[in-house]
Amino acid sequence: MREKASFNFAGKTVLVTGAAKGIGAAIAEQFGSYGANVVVADVDEQGEAAAAGWRQLGRSARFIRCDVSRGSEVAKTVAYAEQEFGGLDILVNNAGIFPRARLAETDEAFWDRVMDINLKGAYLMCQAAVPGMISRGGGSIVNIGSLHATSGAPDTLAYAISKGGIVTLTRNLASALARQRVRVNCIHPGWVASDGEMARLAAAGEGGDSLEKAISRMPMGRMQTGDDIASAAVFMTSDFADQITGQQLTVDGGISSR
Ligand SMILES: NC(=O)c1ccc[n+]([C@@H]2O[C@H](COP(=O)([O-])OP(=O)(O)OC[C@H]3O[C@@H](n4cnc5c(N)ncnc54)[C@H](O)[C@@H]3O)[C@@H](O)[C@H]2O)c1
């Protein structure tokens, strides 16, 4: 029998990409509240203020500027986490962009940018982080997907395909790394009131009454929050999920069950 599982992450180090704001910030915040050392990796320098705020609460938090689409920055970021805290136990690949375009409007530059950040970024991070995890006897990776991975709307072509790739990356690495005790799972958020999504809705003129109407049609009557997704990430990387790998956990308040 193994020891009783718990949500105590004291002594564990978690690297969260895209954690300056939105869902990633909520994930970093929640891991910190369970005692983890947290590394915030983001292109947005706002991550420094987030990490400083958590340090004021007595938590271990660091910010490093990192564009996940650049291999050299990713390698530097993982090395930084390992140096600061003696190793990396958990990686959350959350950084992502979700610009809208249909097939005809999706030019090569648009396609490449979405793939580079949403999909290549996750592969680069896994490649950099896994050797250290294996040498520590194991680790856990969570990739943030999307409902669009399997049922994208017409104007989410590149985005949906990048998230489909995230599912394949998850399953492939889960099977490749199971023996080395590196678990790899995916979380699909539903519709989250993140900084990025609220800004997108406002820019598209979809705020106000039309937003209220859309929310009222949600099965559980509200959008998801970053905390809803963070709780799933904490569970998936905890000892409670010791035998869960290669799986997709959807946190959407029932959207996909309609
Ligand atoms: N909000 C939703 O409804 C929703 C639904 C499904 C999936 N998701 C996914 O959740 C993840 C987070 O989205 P969010 O809603 O919190 O968005 P957000 O825009 O609020 O936050 C995204 C963060 O990623 C960072 N980022 C962007 N490009 C980066 C890069 N190249 N390198 C490092 N960091 C980068 C941004 O600076 C930002 O801090 C994304 O992968 C997104 O696809 C969101």
pLDDT in tens, the chain (258 residues): 567 888 999 999 999 999 999 999 999 999 999 999 999 999 999 999 999 999 999 999 999 999 999 999 999 999 999 999 999 999 999 999 999 999 999 999 999 999 999 999 999 999 999 999 999 999 999 999 999 999 889 999 999 999 999 999 999 999 999 999 999 999 999 999 999 999 999 999 998 999 999 999 999 999 999 999 999 999 999 999 999 999 999 999 999 998
In a domain, 78, yes or no: yes
Residues 172 and 142 in one domain: yes
Cα of 193 from ligand 1 centre, angstroms: 11
> Considering only CA atoms, which of 67, 42, 71 is closest in space to residue 196?
42
Could you tell me how many residues make up the chain? 258
- Total domains present in the chain: 2
Residues 218 and 230 in one domain: no
Name the residue range of residue 207's domain: 196-223
Give the mutation target among 97, 116, 124, 222 for probing the ligand 1 site: most ligand atoms within 8 A of CB: 97
What pLDDT score was predicted for residue 1? Answer: 57
Query: What CATH number should be reported for the domain holding residue 127?
Result: 3.40.50.720
Residues 119 and 105 in one domain: yes
Compute the distance between CA of residue 124 and CA of residue 15 in angstroms, rounded to an integer: 14
> Hey, whose CA ends up nearest to atom 38 of ligand 1?
18
In a domain, 98, yes or no: yes
Residues 183 and 201 in one domain: no
Compute the distance between CA of residue 40 and CA of residue 28 in angstroms, rounded to an integer: 7
> Considering only CA atoms, which of 169, 228, 250 is closest in space to residue 29?
228
Give the mutation target among 17, 42, 248, 256 for probing the ligand 1 site: most ligand atoms within 8 A of CB: 42
Q: State yes or no: is 80 an active-site residue.
A: no
Residues 98 and 159 in one domain: yes
- Check residue 40 and give left, alpha or beta (phi > 0: left; psi -120 to 50: alpha): beta
Residues 200 and 128 in one domain: no
DSSP bridge pairs for 37: 13
Residues 219 and 165 in one domain: no
Residues 121 and 230 in one domain: yes
